Amino acid sequence: MKNKKTIELRTEIPGPKSRELMERRKAAVPRGQYHATPIFARRAEGAVIEDVDGNRFLDFAGGIGCLNMGHRAPGVVAAAREQIDKFLHVCFSVTPYESYVAVAEKLNALAPGKFAKKTLLLNTGAEAVENAVKIARAYTKRPAVICFEDAFHGRTLMAMSLTSKTSYKAGFGPFASDVYRIPYAYAYRSAEGSTAESFARHLTDAFKRLVAAESVAAVIAEPVLGEGGFVVPPKEYFALLHEICRKHGILLIADEVQSGMGRTGKWFACEHFGLEPDLVVAAKSLGGGFPLAAVIGRAEIMDAPAAGGLGGTFTGHPVSCAAALATFEIIEKEGLLERSTAMGKRFEARAREWQRRWGLVGDVRGLGGMCAMELVRDAASREPAEEETKAIAKYCYEHGLIMMTAGTFGNVVRILAPLVMTEEEFDEGMDVLEEAVASVAGSKSAMLSHA
Ligand code: PMP
């Protein structure tokens, strides 16, 4: 059992109170609502989560990338409290309020591209994806959407139809029509020698093989795959993709739900590629821990749907908007973009060393604080090490580190730690991860030598 500076384990994991709650959870909540750990939270602060048994965990998951500014960031809590004392819900569709407009103005200024922009606010990433597609269709007057293998866009009908991994879709068909899927620029799992050009060619081929270009409203892409395993395309890839889109009057939608809001060391991951998408989808850390999502885009595109065509009862909730305004300020004042870049470097230095030591670590990749390693059974065959990845995640939470996996094959360890995490905390978390990898890689080579 660990008892270091931050991590403090008072009981075996999960402790008695978590175990008791798990029994109630199993009886009351459907199994389809997955949980990555059996730990029930009691409180959280900064980069630390305390469970109901008094155990303290370092958080490398950030509620799946929603806490770049940290748990209960003081500015966010103060702004939310202030808003709660004024009004809760009046509905922007009934009596508008300033904070919604202020969030839209800020996102219009932050999103890549100097052109005039407008922003629609929503509650969740999936809802924002649905709306981005609606807007693209209204503007282009075309039906089809092209998406990617290994993509994740959410769990509602269109968002799920755009999602690739079959475990998110099994049993839920029929899916939305006019959705076409092409391979992503996933170098580690593509033919040797693949280039930005050869990856982009999948799009031009699609116009022959899958759907006529003049029927396509939009191509939707994550600049860095999130659930798909933190895959980073070659630098020139998106410029090529956008050029092909422009040539055919197709809009490019960047889904920055996971990669945005400073996660990669820039406000939006698109900036790393010099990409100025027609529409950008944001969510997760945008709300500072409250539900908030956005579609940001070229003003003339955003204005394509008629008045009343967009909206929702709770969209752009006043408390979420107040929290978002505080979040922008925290990211700027606390230098979280720089801290994200530094976190990525710290991760890479350690993970590359692990890669040299253990064949299990097949690939180390990422952009800033959106970093990951892909685990394989064998460096040559690259057979995904799904069970080993699960064992590492389990070792981690049993030793005080909450960490999530990703990837179509479930074999990616990903880091979504709050960007306010101190270097000491991050190193402590990486120590646990190293022990976890060592224990699994060690037992694997022991297994092999017995074989
Ligand atoms: N797009 C991406 C890239 C995501 O990572 C996610 C969530 N993991 C979504 C969309 C869906 O967001 P939400 O869960 O808020 O609906």
pLDDT digits (tens, 9 = 90+) for 391-441: 999 999 999 999 999 999 999 999 999 999 999 999 999 999 999 999 999
Q: Which atom of ligand 1 is nearest to the CA of 284?
A: 15
- Strand 216-221 and strand 251-255: the pairing is parallel
Residue 49 is classified by DSSP as: E
Output the CA 72–ligand 1 centroid distance in Å.
21
Going by pLDDT thresholds of 50, 70 and 90, the confidence category of residue 379 is confident
Residue 11 pLDDT exceeds 70: yes
Q: Which ligand 1 atom is at minimum distance from the Cα of 258?
A: 5
pLDDT digits (tens, 9 = 90+) for 269-308: 999 999 999 999 999 999 999 999 999 999 999 999 999 9
The confidence score (pLDDT) of residue 299 equals 98
Residue 36: count other Cβ atoms within 10 Å of its Cβ: 14
How buried is residue 4: exposed, middle or buried, by Cβ count under 10 Å (0-12/13-18/19+)? Answer: middle
DSSP assignment letter at 71:
B
Determine the pLDDT at residue 14: 98
The string of pLDDT tens digits covering residues 173-182 is: 999 999 999 9
Q: Is the CB of 256 under 6 A from ligand 1?
A: no
Q: What is the pLDDT of residue 316?
A: 98
Distance 193 CA to ligand 1 centre (A): 31
Test site for ligand 1: of 284, 285, 367, most ligand atoms within 8 A of the Cβ: 284
pLDDT of res. 5: 84
In whole angstroms, give the CA distance from residue 285 to residue 264: 12
Q: Which of 294, 302, 303, 331 is nearest to 418 (CA)?
A: 331
125 CB near ligand 1 (under 6 Å): yes
Cα(152) to ligand 1 centroid in Å equals 7
Cα 5 to Cα 394, 424, 427, 431, 449: the distances in Å are 21, 9, 11, 12, 37
pLDDT, average across residues 360-373: 98
43-77 per-position pLDDT tens digit: 999 999 999 999 999 999 999 999 999 999 999 99
Query: Can you tell me which atom of ligand 1 is nearest the CA of 151?
Result: 3
The mean predicted confidence, pLDDT, of the chain is: 97
Q: 37: closest CA among 53, 61, 20, 16? A: 61
Nearest atom of ligand 1 to the alpha carbon of 256: 3
Cα–Cα distance measured from residue 447 to residue 294, given in angstroms and rounded to the nearest whole number: 49
pTM for the full predicted model: 0.97
Q: By percentage, how much of the chain surpasses pLDDT 90?
A: 96
Our CA angle for 364, 370, 166, nearest 5°, is 80
What average pLDDT does this structure show over 156-176?
Answer: 98
pLDDT of residue 444: 61
Model confidence at 449, pLDDT cuts 50, 70, 90, reads: very low
14: cis peptide before it, omega within 30°?
yes
Predicted confidence (pLDDT) at residue 450 exceeds the cutoff of 60: no
Dihedral sign of CA atoms 85, 91, 92, 94 in order: negative
What pLDDT does residue 3 have? 53
* Eight-class DSSP state of 167: G
Question: Could you give the percent of the chain with pLDDT greater than 70?
Answer: 97
Mutating to test ligand 1, I would choose from 153, 156, 158, 168 the residue with most ligand atoms within 8 A of its C-beta, which is 153
- Contact residues for 361 (Cβ-Cβ < 8 A; gap 6+): 351, 354, 355, 373, 374, 375, 437, 441
366 in helix, strand or coil? strand
- For ligand 1, what atom is nearest to the CA of residue 225? 3
CA of 392 to the centre of ligand 1 (A): 24
